[in-house]
């Protein structure tokens, strides 16, 4: 095989001979990687937003649990006060 034939075949493979060559494929890959980089950046931004939303949701749920526990304690205290006040009121009325 002649060196000129080898160079011609390499030239056709790299630059193409009426068809897309390796150079065109590499340029397409370069553009695809650039687009992929933008997509990954957008995905990272979306993931950050999702993580923040999840954190806010978790905090809200913890606050609901805390408020529910406080509400239950308050209701227990109110029921104790009513439980004591009714017999105490009856005792005071009977003493009068």
Residues with Cβ < 8 Å from 15, sequence gap 6 or more?
21, 23
Q: What is the mean pLDDT of residues 12-17?
A: 74
The pLDDT score that the predictor gives to residue 15 is 75
pLDDT beyond 80 at 11: no
Burial of 16 (0-12, 13-18, 19+ CB in 10 A): middle
pLDDT single digits (tens) 62-75:
999 989 888 899 98
Domain positions in the chain are 17-95
Q: pTM here?
A: 0.45
Confidence of residue 82 (pLDDT cuts 50, 70, 90): confident
The pLDDT score that the predictor gives to residue 27 is 87
Q: What is the mean pLDDT of the chain?
A: 85
């Amino acid at each position: 095989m002649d060196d000129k034939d080898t160079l011609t075949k390499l030239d056709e493979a790299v630059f193409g001979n009426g068809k897309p060559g390796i150079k065109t494929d590499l340029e397409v890959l370069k553009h695809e990687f650039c687009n992929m980089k933008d997509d990954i950046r957008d995905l990272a931004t979306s993931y950050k937003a999702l993580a923040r939303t999840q954190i806010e949701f978790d905090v809200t749920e913890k606050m609901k649990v805390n408020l529910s526990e406080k509400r239950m304690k308050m209701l227990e205290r109110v029921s104790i006060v009513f439980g004591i006040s009714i017999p105490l009121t009856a005792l005071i009325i009977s003493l009068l």
